[in-house]
Amino acid sequence: MREMLENICKQALDSIAEAKQSNDLEAIRVKYLGKKGQLTQILRGMGKLSPEERPVMGQLANQVRGDIESALSSRVKEMEEMTLAKRLREETIDVTLPGKRPPLGGLHPLTTVLNQVTDVFLGMGFSVAEGPEVELDYYNFEALNMPRNHPARDTQDTFYINENILLRTHTSPTQIRVMEKQNPPIKIIVPGRVYRSDAVDATHSPIFHQLEGLVVDKNITMGDLKGVLDVFAKRMFGEKTRTRFRPHHFPFTEPSAEMDVSCVTCGGSGCRVCSNTGWIEILGAGMVHPTVLEYGNIDPNRYSGFAFGMGLDRVVNQIYGIDDIRLLYENDIRFLSQF
């Protein structure tokens, strides 16, 4: 019996040492220590031994069981440790790898230029006013000296919402809204989106941006207008920039003018961008018409003023050398990510 016990012990310990996975260990435990296991069988047969042998064999059997049990549990522990070590090895993260950066947005060129233009005028003491994009016919046309059926309305193809409400065709209506609320001196700029029912092409978009200016005070003259706009052009396009004013007509100013700046691309010698003229038209301006001052509840006998309106999209295109206004509105990331 001693020999049997020793054999069982040896076999069990060998197979524990060879076991590859925890399933194997469980099978070994059942095989030797289970209810029908080999060691259990032997212990059952103890009764047949002589009284002298019984305690000796009993002690040996218990020792064998103890050896097998402790071999099993230390092997289980070893396997757990190996599994953990393997997982740790396989799941290590290389913290030195660069992360995935979420793409960072940037300012739209229109916003960048608007910020620059605004800065220039804030520097000259202007403040920013805003008006609604859905506007009354009254402010968009009538109070700007363009009554119903006035031919000048035809130059601004308008999106009407109903007979009295429309999408503003320019930022000029805000002139009236500000004058109604504020007494002179007034010195404001009005940036904003405007709408016209134009067919889309390289220079026309049904939505575009303007920046309006209005100055009303005592003794404002055409000289103030020219001085402010000349300073603006130099700050914006460079100190060498020259300006020229050409007579024009707007119903809401008298006299009226358009201002050109010397071409940013060629400096005035003539190129493709300025159609070889050396000049780029960037805004309309003039002395506020007395009728318009009256619509704004301002006495034209005491006050005078000048106003201007520029197309921001044109300024953007000049600065960046963009030749198609549609690019500003298509939201093509390949275009926008260049800024």
- Cis omega before residue 255 (within 30°)? yes
At residue 27, what are phi and psi to the nearest 5 degrees?
-65, -40
Q: How far is the CB of 256 from ligand DAH (least distance, A)?
A: 6
Which of 339, 313, 315, 337 shows the shortest CA–CA distance to 326?
313
Q: How far is the CB of 204 from ligand DAH (least distance, A)?
A: 13
Q: How far is the CB of 225 from ligand DAH (least distance, A)?
A: 9
Cβ-based nearer residue to ligand DAH, 19 or 176: 176
Cβ-based nearer residue to ligand DAH, 253 or 318: 253
Cβ-based nearer residue to ligand DAH, 171 or 241: 171
Q: How far is the CB of 331 from ligand DAH (least distance, A)?
A: 25
Q: How far is the CB of 176 from ligand DAH (least distance, A)?
A: 11
Cβ-based nearer residue to ligand DAH, 253 or 317: 253
| Interacting residues toward ligand DAH by CB under 6 A | 170, 172, 212, 250, 253, 284-286, 307-309
Q: How far is the CB of 210 from ligand DAH (least distance, A)?
A: 6
Cβ-based nearer residue to ligand DAH, 110 or 307: 307
Which of 330, 326, 334 shows the shortest CA–CA distance to 103?
334
**Two tokens, residue 198:** 């134009």
Residue nearest to ligand DAH (CB): 309
With 0-12 / 13-18 / 19 or more C-beta atoms within 10 angstroms meaning exposed / middle / buried, residue 81 is exposed
Cβ-based nearer residue to ligand DAH, 295 or 308: 308
Q: Angle at Cα 13 formed by Cα 21 and Cα 50, nearest 5°?
A: 140
Q: How far is the CB of 248 from ligand DAH (least distance, A)?
A: 8
